[in-house]
Amino acid sequence: MQISCIAKNCCYATVLAVLSVGTCRVLYRIYKNKKEEKKALDGSNGSKSYFCKVLFFPDKQVPCFNYLLTAQGCTRKSCLHSHDENSSFIQLIRCVLNARKSIDLCMFSLTCQELAEAISIKHRLGAKVRVIADTEYMNMSGSKILSFMKEGIAVRHDRSSYLMHHKFVVIDGNVVITGSFNWTHAAVIGNYENIIATDSVDVVQPYLAEFERLWTLFDAEHGPCRDVSAAANLLGKSDKYHMRGVSKNRKM
C-alpha cells in the first residue's frame, strides 16, 4: 500500500514536471498581457492615472464676472463678455472654485478681480486659504492682497531684495496649477502665457513641499508674529522694502 502511494505521487510529480515548462510559458504570457493592459489604462509608467490640462493665453474676450461668480449668473441678453466654458480663463477659475478643503496660493502679482473673488468665495465657504506674496507687488496699486488680509485670509511675504516670483496654486493638497501666468488681467487678455494643471503626485508633492518651506521661512522672518494681520503685514512708506517697486513699475 505504501509502495503504491509512493508510485502514485511520483507519477503526479512526473506529470507536473512535464507540464511545468508549457504552463509557465502560458502563465507568463497571461501575466504580460495583463500588465500591458494595466499600463494602457493607468499610464505608460504603470502608476495611477492622472489628469493633465494645458491652457494658453490670451483669451479673445474679457470674462463675464456675473456669469462666473454670482448666484444668479449673467442676466444680460447681449453680454459682450465671455461665457465660453472652453476658454482658458474660465477653465482656470473653475479649477479654483472646485476647491473643497484648502487653497495654497503662491503668486507674484495678483490684481485680477475675478480670481481674487474666487479665492474669497472659497474662504467664506470654509476652505483653508493661505497666500504667499511678493513684498513689493503686494503693495502696488490694484493688488488684492490687502483685501485678503482684511477678510482674515492668512498672508505671508518675503523680506528680501529679490522677488518672490513663483506663480502656482495647490488645490486641496492634490492638484497643482502653475505656469508663466500671473493673476492679472493683462495675463488673461493681453500676454502670451501658459498654465498646466495636474493631479500627478510626482508633480504636486514638490510644489506642496515648496509652499510649506516658504510658509515656514517667511513666518520665521516675521519674528514673534505668528498670524499675519493687515496692520502688521503692510509696509509703510518709510520701510525700505516699500520703495523697491517704485523704480520697477512694470506689468508682469
Distance CA 3, CA 108 (A): 86
Q: Quote the CA–CA distance of 115 and 144 in Å, as a whole number.
A: 10
Question: Is there a catalytic annotation at residue 172?
Answer: yes
Say how far apart CA 70 and CA 39 lie, in whole Å.
43
Round to whole Å and give the CA distance between 114 and 238. 32
Q: What letter represents residue 162's amino acid?
A: Y
- Residue-by-residue DSSP string for 131-195: EEE-HHHHTSTT-SHHHHHHTT-EEEE--SSS----EEEEETTTEEEEES--BSHHHHHTS-EEE
Going from the C-alpha of 202 to that of each of 150, 175, 208, the distances in angstroms are 35, 11, 11
Q: Rounded to 5 degrees, what angle do the CA atoms 136, 176, 91 make? A: 95
Q: Is 167 one of the annotated active-site residues of the chain?
A: yes
Cα(75)–Cα(65) distance, integer angstroms: 12
Which of 165, 219, 222, 242 is flagged as catalytic?
Answer: 165
Active site residue 48: no
DSSP element (H, E) containing 129: strand 128-133
Candidate list 172, 219, 222, 242, residue with the active-site label: 172
Of the candidates 199, 197, 195, 171, the residue with the CA atom closest to the CA atom of residue 183 = 195
Catalytic site residue from 122, 123, 144, 167 = 167
Which residues are identified as catalytic?
A: 165, 167, 172
